[in-house]
Structure formats: C-alpha cells, structure tokens
C-alpha cells in the first residue's frame, strides 16, 4: 500500500471512530440547521443517527439550542377554503396539500406550532397541529355563538426550559374574544384549558363599537395578547395573568392612508408598523416617568430602497399582509402578486415565490423533527 493510500485509510478510521462516539455525534447533530429537512435527512444515514435524532432528550436539546423555530409558510383563507403557502425553497419546502385544514372555516391565528380554526357553522374552534395531523374540536361558550369571534391558541407547558415550537404533546389554552358587542356595549373574552377540558369565567369590558373585526392573529407580548381592531385606530389587550381586557389607542397617524399591523418591539413592548408606500414607520409603546404609556416613533424608513422597487409605485397597491413574531418579519404585498418578507431588525428583505395573494397571512413556525413520525418527515426524507 502506498503512503498516500495508507494516510487515506488512517484518516477514514479516525473519522469513523469520531462518529461512533455518541456524545460527540450528539453535539454535531445539535448544530444542524433547524430547517425542516435537516434532522429527517440525518436520521436516514444509519441506525445510530436515527436512534439519536429521534431521542426525545435530543429533540428537546435541539429545540433549546436553536430557540426560534423556522418560518414554514403562511395560512390564509381563499374564498371558503383554508390554504397553506410555503415560504421555503427545496429541499425544505412543504407542499401545500400536506397542510390541508379543510373548507368552510376561518384561520384565527397560529402560535407555538398550532393553528386555531374557527368553525362558525358548528360554533366550534379547532386546535390543529399541522406537523402531527392532530386536531381537537371544542364547542364555544353560548356567549360566543351569536356572531364571529377572534382568538388564539397558546402552549400551556409549565416545565422549566420548555421551548415553544415543538409543543406537539403539550397542554394548550384557547383564548376567545367576541367581535360583537351586545346591548350593554361590552366585548367578551373567555379562556379554555385542555388540562381541565373546560372554559373559564366570562371576562368583559366596554368597547367603543357595536361590531368590530380583528382579522389578524393575536400578538403575544409578555403576559398579554393584542388584537388590532378593524380600522386600526385601537388595539384590544387581554392580560393573561390578570384575566382582564383593556382598550389601547393606536399611534397618532392618519389610518385611512396607512396599512398597519401590531408587532413586537424592544424590551417586551408592543410595537406598531405602518406602511404608506414608500414610507414605512415603526412605533413603540413606552411608559414615561409617571408610568403613563405613550407611543414613540421608533423607525422612519423609505422602504422602496429596501425592497429595491421604484419610488413611484401607487401606495394603494401595497400593504402589510402579515407578521411572523418568532422571526420578527413582516409580509409586504406589492400588487399584482409580489410578496416580500422584511426582517425588522436588519431591515433585509427577500422576495417570496409561489405565495398567492390571500387577504391575510397567518405566519406558521414550527420545528419538524423525526420524533413526530409525521407525514411531513416522510416527505422531506425522500
């Protein structure tokens, strides 16, 4: 055997011995990308890698290491059907057909790897886990059966170090808020717990409108959920600890000429994004020295430079169509069908291909791991 051949064999043996060490291989696999194809492909290498990548302890550590689940795509409604539009390219792109949540329903929101669906005909909400395919139907309280409602589903896991985004077997809670104010001029909220299988007490507050429409997913900031009300001049706050409702006035901008969305700002504060092309503003709600919350202009940007689009585009053909809280990105639509994803920290943007124009985007983020034994894993490992 020649010297180069002998060196090659020795290097191969050393590499093999390193990968045979479970502890070292564990640390290597932990650092794989959190994108959907990473672990399924690694699990297909050999039995040893399959054993490690499906170990529940490893999967928990994997999520803890990455912290933020990847953005897989968006859910929205196209006429009477719920559609999923993937945002990733191959090999991580998940075909829309594999996240089919059924017709004649409405998306209320996505949080912690689950999707909340409103079935207004049956007066139910459906908690869906698109990764595992599991669904749980819950009848809404009588007080919410008169008209439509908005809501959110949140993971209720209380174990220390739990990372949201792979909460497939964790308990959950559903928060519903009525979008119809009764004769007493109040809007109502209620919380369902999967651990007790029951709804809690009805919570209410005076509301300035008879009928309102949130439309967007509720934004979770700290211990509160927020919904932007129909014409964007006020925000509804639901405090998860105090179990109370409150009305917040939106920033002082002319709402009729701006497309708006609530976002998460710095230091666990609620923020407000507004687009009137080419101007893009971000506001943050801070407390002054007397603990009185006020809106402060945080960023004021000429966004056509970021999107690399002409300055003269009609502002009426642009708008904010969704927000991914986990990745801090907004979806900007420039008609006819150009969708851009803008990262709000770096203000970097990319154009998304294959996403149709649906009215509102509900961003869906989740870890995809072999331990779920889902059809998604089988698709990505082919």
The full set of domain ranges for the chain reads: 3-61, 75-94+253-360, 105-250
The rounded distance, in Å, linking the Cα atoms of 192 and 176 is: 8
259-to-136, 225, 273, 288, 307 alpha-carbon distances in Å: 34, 21, 8, 27, 17
Give the model's pLDDT for residue 262. Answer: 93
Give the model's pLDDT for residue 379. Answer: 44
Question: CATH: 1.10.1760, 2.40.128, 3.40.50, 3.30.70. Which one for 105-250?
Answer: 2.40.128
Give the model's pLDDT for residue 18. Answer: 57
pLDDT in tens, the chain (382 residues): 555 544 444 444 444 555 667 788 889 999 999 998 998 888 888 888 889 988 888 888 898 898 889 999 888 876 667 888 888 888 888 888 778 777 667 889 999 989 999 888 889 999 999 888 889 999 999 888 877 788 999 998 877 667 776 777 789 999 999 877 667 778 899 999 999 999 999 999 887 765 566 667 889 998 999 998 876 788 999 999 999 999 898 898 877 778 889 999 988 889 999 998 888 999 999 877 667 889 999 999 988 888 877 777 777 788 898 899 988 999 988 877 788 889 998 888 888 876 665 667 888 999 887 655 444 444 444 4
Beta bridge partner(s), residue 330: 323, 342
Residue 379: closest CA among 165, 95, 49? 95
Residue 363: closest CA among 47, 61, 60, 107? 107
The rounded distance, in Å, linking the Cα atoms of 263 and 259 is: 13
Residue in the block written with tokens 């959190």: 34
Question: How many Cα atoms within 13 Å fall on the side-chain side of residue 172?
Answer: 27
Task: Dihedral sign for Cα 167, 368, 269, 277, please.
Answer: negative
Phi, psi values for residue 11, rounded to 5°: -60, -40
Residue in the block written with tokens 């970097």: 348
Give the model's pLDDT for residue 87. Answer: 85
Per-residue H/E/C for the chain: CCHHHHHHHHHHHHHHHHHCCHHHHHHHHHCCCCCCCHHHHHHCCCHHHHHHHCCHHHHHHHHHHHCCCCEEEEEEEECCEEEEEECCCCCCCCCHHHHCCCECCEEEEEECCEEEEEECCCCEEEEEECCCCEEEEEECCHHHCCCCEEEEEEECCCCCCCCCCCCCCCCEEEEEEECECCCCCEEEEEEEECCCCEECCCEEEECCCCECCCCCCCEEECCEEEEECCCCCEEEEEECCCCEEEEEECCCCCHHHCEEEEEECHHHCEEEEEEECCEEEEEEEEECCCCCEEEEEEEEEECHHHHCCCCCCCHHHEEEEEEECCCCEEEEEECCCEEEEEECCCCCEEEECCCCCCCCEEEEECCCCHHHCCHHHHHHCC
Give the model's pLDDT for residue 12. Answer: 46
Give the model's pLDDT for residue 242. Answer: 94
């Amino acid at each position: 055997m020649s010297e180069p051949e002998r060196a090659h064999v020795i290097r191969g043996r050393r590499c093999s011995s390193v990968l045979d060490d479970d502890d070292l291989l564990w640390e290597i696999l932990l650092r794989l990308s959190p994108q959907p194809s990473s672990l399924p492909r690694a699990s297909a290498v050999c039995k040893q890698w399959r054993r490690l990548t499906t170990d529940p302890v490893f999967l928990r550590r994997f999520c803890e290491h990455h912290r933020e689940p990847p953005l897989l795509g968006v859910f929205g409604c196209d006429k009477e059907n719920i559609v999923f539009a993937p945002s990733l390219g191959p090999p991580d792109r998940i075909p829309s057909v594999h996240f089919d949540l059924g017709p004649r329903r409405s998306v209320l929101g996505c949080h912690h790897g689950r999707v909340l669906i409103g079935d207004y005909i049956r007066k139910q909400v459906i908690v869906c886990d698109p990764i595992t395919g599991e669904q749980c139907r819950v009848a809404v309280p009588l007080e919410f059966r008169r008209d439509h409602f908005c809501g959110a589903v949140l993971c209720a896991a209380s174990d220390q170090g739990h990372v949201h985004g792979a909460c497939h077997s964790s308990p959950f809670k559903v928060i519903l808020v009525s979008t119809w104010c009764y004769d007493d001029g109040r809007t109502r909220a209620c919380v369902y717990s999967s651990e007790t299988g029951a709804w809690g007490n009805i919570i209410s507050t005076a509301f300035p409108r008879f009928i309102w429409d949130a439309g967007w997913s509720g934004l979770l900031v700290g211990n509160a959920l927020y919904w932007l009300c129909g014409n964007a001049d006020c925000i509804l706050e639901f405090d998860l600890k105090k179990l109370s409702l409150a009305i917040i006035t939106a920033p002082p901008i002319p709402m009729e000429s701006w497309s708006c969305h609530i976002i998460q700002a710095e230091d666990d504060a609620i923020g407000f994004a507004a687009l009137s092309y080419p101007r893009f503003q971000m506001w943050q709600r801070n407390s002054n020295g007397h603990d009185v919350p006020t809106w402060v202009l945080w960023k004021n940007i000429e966004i056509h430079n970021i999107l690399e689009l002409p300055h003269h585009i009609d502002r009426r053909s642009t708008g904010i169509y969704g927000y991914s809280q986990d990745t801090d990105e907004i979806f900007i639509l420039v008609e006819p069908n150009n969708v851009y994803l803008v990262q709000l920290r770096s203000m970097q943007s990319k154009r998304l291909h294959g996403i149709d124009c649906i009215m509102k985007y509900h961003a869906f983020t989740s870890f995809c791991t072999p331990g779920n034994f889902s059809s998604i894993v089988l698709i990505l490992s082919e």
